[in-house]
Structure 1
Amino acid sequence: MAPGPSTFIPLGEIPQEGGDSSLHQLLKAFVSAGRVDHVAMVMGLHPQYLSSFWKTQYLLLRMDGPLPYHKRHYIAIMAAARHRCSYLVGLHMGEFLQVGGNPAWLQGLHCAPQKLRNLNEINKLLAHRPWLVTKKHIEALLKPGEDSWSLAELVQALVLLTHYHSLASFVFGCGIKPEEEQDVGNSCWTPSPHSDSSPASDDSMGGSGGTDAMQEVEMLMERMKLLQENQLEEEGVTQEEMATRFELEKTESLLVPSSDILDPSLQSNIRCFLEDPEFGYKDFTRRGEQAPPTFRAQDYTWEDHGYSLMNRLYPDVGQLLDEKFQVVYNLTYNTIAMHCGVDTSMLRRAIWNYVHCLLERNLKIYIKTVACYPEKTTKQIYTQFWRHFKHSEKVHVNLLLLEARMQAALLYALRAVTCYMT
């Protein structure tokens, strides 16, 4: 297997020590903490985001909080197992033991205390169908008894679950490799000269493929220009247009690679943490079916509702999450492929909101896969979207997906908590 932290991204594209000074400072902090893992190496393509992400994860796992450290890592294992993410499951099994966790619990969910097992239902829903979380799920966990959760403990658990579900999307979306495949000692960091060359593509850019990729870039630039000039409003879309989009979306959903969700080769170290493994993502209601209990974007927002609730129940994390959402949403280098000085705000908003009129098919297939079925992500899907774009731009897409997914799931959970409290 090729060297480096990712099967999708050539090692020469990953920032190395001695490059960006802000990244260099970050890496020193990581090294002092013991290691630089593969996730950090790939996120290092965007140092400003990596800094914000690392502070949040450090606070969640290592700073004072209502849950003991070993239970935090066990919750991370439960969350990652829902997406068959052996990278994160293995990482946190090691961390769990390091902080004094009981090795017997690692034999599977059935060996964990009932209090942790009670999280299984909400873990399952937040991973695959977060719109189904209701105040009844919150009530069940908080009801008095030997295995009851406090509100503070539960809020920390909800943040951990949504954090690790969305981090699994990033791991699969960027082709992150397990640490043990690296033969470079404990730091997992290989100093090498920083490559400033343009990204090497895994497939030939010659012939018609290169022409098609160039056309994709130019079409994207044209659509963004139109959107910025006209500020197209979704309210102005006719019923006929919505019906057409719906049929198109239904067709494109079928292009997400299929795989047997009960893969017999599924490692036993993941299967043992799964109850109801058949449960997975299900598309929102098709026409003629009863609508699921979703909410419109303006009904329960992070800015107006989620942030203030988090600030009351888990203040430090509320602040860091807000910063992390802002950093990734506003992150821009004003470039697109070979174009410089570009206002990318419309594109970033489109990826965040999955605006149908802007995103081309291969990007939509990629987004749908990474956000809903991350374990099905393949190198081919990664390679096929935005073929003329830098790997750092594709990683940026993954960061937007990570945070958009986390915020959406967390909002459903916090709305249920709000309903419980009122």
Structure 2
Amino acid sequence: MNVNPESIGSSNSYQICNNCQKVLRKKEKGMRIPRPLTSGPSAFIPEKEILEATPVDMHTNLLLLVGDYSSSGQLNHLTQVMGLHPQYLESFLRCQFYLLRIDGPLPQHYRHYIAIMAAARHQCSFLVNMHVHEFLQIGMCLEWLNGLDFAPQRLRNLNEINKILAHRPWLITKEHIQKLVKTGENSWSLAELVHAVVLLAHFHALASFVFGSGINPEVDADASNRFQDVAVNNFCVCDLANDNNLEDFLLPGMVDSVSELEALMERMKRLQEEEEEASQEEMATRFEKEKEESLLVTSGAFEDEIVPVSNVSRFVSDPTFGYQDFARREDNLPTFRAQDFSWDDHGFSLVNRLYSDIGHMLDEKFRTVSNLTYYNMATHEDIDTTMLRRALFNYVHCMFGIKYDDYDYGEVNQLLERSLKVYIKTVTCYPERTTRRMYDSYWRQFRHSEKVHVNLLLMEARMQAELLYALRAITHYMT
């Protein structure tokens, strides 16, 4: 079934993927198939589960948080899903509020426009709409909303580092920094540039969370200044599945979800009990192996599924520029060794010096998500998940060419199975391709809140990776 161009974006426009042909044949025989999930904060998480996870007192606390750190004072869909982890949400909202509202190097309308530019790189209409609304509230320079061609040259000059940070941050150099801060009427001060870079990285990463968590567009009666939220050219019914019986929609060859969980816990236990440490040479070899194997992690099994297309392209330059595997590059760039330039030892102090206090805000957010734990895995309690959280974070950095000499990358292969790696790579590197079936394909025994925690880790790991590359380039420029 081909999509009618006139119906693109409507809720009943879809194309049937190969994996669903047999399911639809079952439907013709009167057998039950999953129903579309089209309402609530998330297309992946049933609204009932979000509400059940947010008791009245917690809901009140969330409202108080939003009242303190937003202009609307309302819980939007993003906040409701992130609110499954209120400790993290507070840190996130405080940091975002500081970036967008508190006195800093950049005026507010610049901040929201940069947010629009960053979100548009990933066709994230949810975030673009949010900051178009904020821009309209400010009521300045409204002609900029017609597209990048209508924005001042100074903002357009950010296009290059916007696309590089979003897709291939390892390419950013001191020359990019020099070009932006050189003398002239359109130049940026280092403080302004750091503010802009943090905003770009923040909203690139937030787009990953939006797509990874299936955040639904807000219901807004006044859509006059709204962009189309998602127009779909390959919409499969399995991506909107909302049913406990998803076996028909899972990838062929997947193990039973219960044995999958038990196997993961057994691997964690075995790794924790191992006493012999690998040599530095062996750990270096394991990193290179993991980096090379990331080339083989593709979403090929999902290629006939949903591919979002949005009409925010007016805010995007060079739209064909996208993620390219770090391990596949031909420029012979060396691996980024974290011991040479780390967040704790270098990035934190630099960003804090050039943009007062934002380093503390970011550091709190990074630490909160890394340390966040409820000591459980699915139905099992009193579980130390430190090793698993670290593997998720370091795998993202590995895909971006960042290596920790004191980390054994053999743990990544032990703890992250292939369907989870596909999900991680998609959400982190090209989040607009994320589908419901990818989300459902891993950790099927785990709670939705645990998968949201995964998305928080991926988001912060991605943001930190972008900042490390950008701040290292700024340091090279300054020295």
Residue 4 of structure 1 and its aligned partner are, at CA, apart by 1.0
Query: Do the aligned partners of residues 126 and 257 (structure 1) sit closer, same or farther apart at CA in structure 2, a change above 3 Å counting?
Result: farther
Residue 305 of structure 1 and its aligned partner are, at CA, apart by 0.4
| Aligned residues of 2:39 and 2:216 also touching (Cα < 8 A) | no
Supply the distance in 1 between the matched residues of 2:41 and 2:245 (Cα, whole angstroms).
22
Supply the distance in 2 between the matched residues of 1:62 and 1:130 (Cα, whole angstroms).
27
Query: Per the alignment, in what secondary structure is the counterpart of residue 388 of structure 1?
Result: coil
Q: Give the corresponding residue for 1:148.
A: 187
Paired residue for 2:387, among 323, 332, 346?
346
Supply the distance in 1 between the matched residues of 2:334 and 2:379 (Cα, whole angstroms).
43
Q: 1:284 and 2:326 equivalent?
A: yes
Supply the distance in 2 between the matched residues of 1:151 and 1:164 (Cα, whole angstroms).
20
1:158-203 per-residue CA deviation (whole Å, 9 max, x = no partner) reads: 00000000000000000001112799xxxxxxxxxxxxxxxx9734
Amino acid at match of 2:294: E
Query: Do the aligned partners of residues 165 and 343 (structure 1) sit closer, same or farther apart at CA in structure 2, a change above 3 Å counting?
Result: same
Q: 1:30 and 2:66 equivalent?
A: yes
| Aligned residues of 2:299 and 2:426 also touching (Cα < 8 A) | no
| Aligned residues of 1:350 and 1:358 also touching (Cα < 8 A) | yes
Q: Give the corresponding residue for 2:121.
A: 82
Q: Give the corresponding residue for 1:174.
A: 213
| Aligned residues of 1:139 and 1:420 also touching (Cα < 8 A) | yes
Supply the distance in 1 between the matched residues of 2:144 and 2:302 (Cα, whole angstroms).
34
Aligned ranges for residues 377-392 of structure 1 at < 5 Å?
377-392=434-449
Amino acid at match of 2:150: C
Aligned ranges for residues 63-78 of structure 1 at < 5 Å?
63-78=102-117
Amino acid at match of 1:229: E
Deviating more after overlay: 212-221 vs 291-300 = 291-300
Q: Give the corresponding residue for 1:302.
A: 343
Q: Give the corresponding residue for 1:163.
A: 202
Query: Do the aligned partners of residues 115 and 294 (structure 1) sit closer, same or farther apart at CA in structure 2, a change above 3 Å counting?
Result: farther
Q: Give the corresponding residue for 2:136.
A: 97
- Give TM-score scaled by structure 2 length: 0.78
Q: Give the corresponding residue for 1:408.
A: 465
Structure 2 runs not aligned, ≥5 long:
1-36, 223-240, 396-411
| Aligned residues of 1:5 and 1:177 also touching (Cα < 8 A) | yes
| Aligned residues of 2:299 and 2:422 also touching (Cα < 8 A) | no
Supply the distance in 2 between the matched residues of 1:351 and 1:38 (Cα, whole angstroms).
25
Residue 81 of structure 1 and its aligned partner are, at CA, apart by 0.4
Aligned ranges for residues 306-317 of structure 1 at < 5 Å?
306-317=347-358
1:227-246 per-residue CA deviation (whole Å, 9 max, x = no partner) reads: 21126547363898778656
Q: Give the corresponding residue for 1:396.
A: 453
Q: 1:421 and 2:478 equivalent?
A: yes
Q: 1:7 and 2:43 equivalent?
A: yes
Q: Give the corresponding residue for 1:235.
A: 280
Supply the distance in 2 between the matched residues of 1:353 and 1:20 (Cα, whole angstroms).
36
Q: Give the corresponding residue for 1:214.
A: 258
Residue 13 of structure 1 and its aligned partner are, at CA, apart by 1.5
Paired residue for 2:418, among 340, 347, 361?
361
1:83-104 per-residue CA deviation (whole Å, 9 max, x = no partner) reads: 0101111111111111123221
Supply the distance in 1 between the matched residues of 2:249 and 2:114 (Cα, whole angstroms).
48
Paired residue for 1:114, among 150, 153, 158?
153
Query: Do the aligned partners of residues 378 and 236 (structure 1) sit closer, same or farther apart at CA in structure 2, a change above 3 Å counting?
Result: same
1:70-129 per-residue CA deviation (whole Å, 9 max, x = no partner) reads: 110000000000001011111111111111232211111011000000000000000000
Paired residue for 2:368, among 313, 327, 338?
327
Supply the distance in 2 between the matched residues of 1:286 and 1:62 (Cα, whole angstroms).
40
Supply the distance in 1 between the matched residues of 2:95 and 2:163 (Cα, whole angstroms).
23
Supply the distance in 1 between the matched residues of 2:93 and 2:118 (Cα, whole angstroms).
19
Query: Per the alignment, in what secondary structure is the counterpart of residue 356 of structure 1?
Result: helix
Query: Do the aligned partners of residues 294 and 117 (structure 1) sit closer, same or farther apart at CA in structure 2, a change above 3 Å counting?
Result: farther
| Aligned residues of 1:4 and 1:11 also touching (Cα < 8 A) | yes
Amino acid at match of 1:359: L
Q: Give the corresponding residue for 2:31.
A: none
Structure 1 runs not aligned, ≥5 long:
184-199
Supply the distance in 2 between the matched residues of 1:21 and 1:81 (Cα, whole angstroms).
36
Supply the distance in 2 between the matched residues of 1:18 and 1:8 (Cα, whole angstroms).
17
| Aligned residues of 2:297 and 2:425 also touching (Cα < 8 A) | no
Residue 284 of structure 1 and its aligned partner are, at CA, apart by 1.4
| Aligned residues of 1:285 and 1:292 also touching (Cα < 8 A) | no
Query: Do the aligned partners of residues 241 and 371 (structure 1) sit closer, same or farther apart at CA in structure 2, a change above 3 Å counting?
Result: closer
Supply the distance in 2 between the matched residues of 1:68 and 1:201 (Cα, whole angstroms).
43
Paired residue for 1:273, among 286, 296, 315?
315
Paired residue for 1:249, among 278, 281, 294?
294
Supply the distance in 2 between the matched residues of 1:250 and 1:335 (Cα, whole angstroms).
32
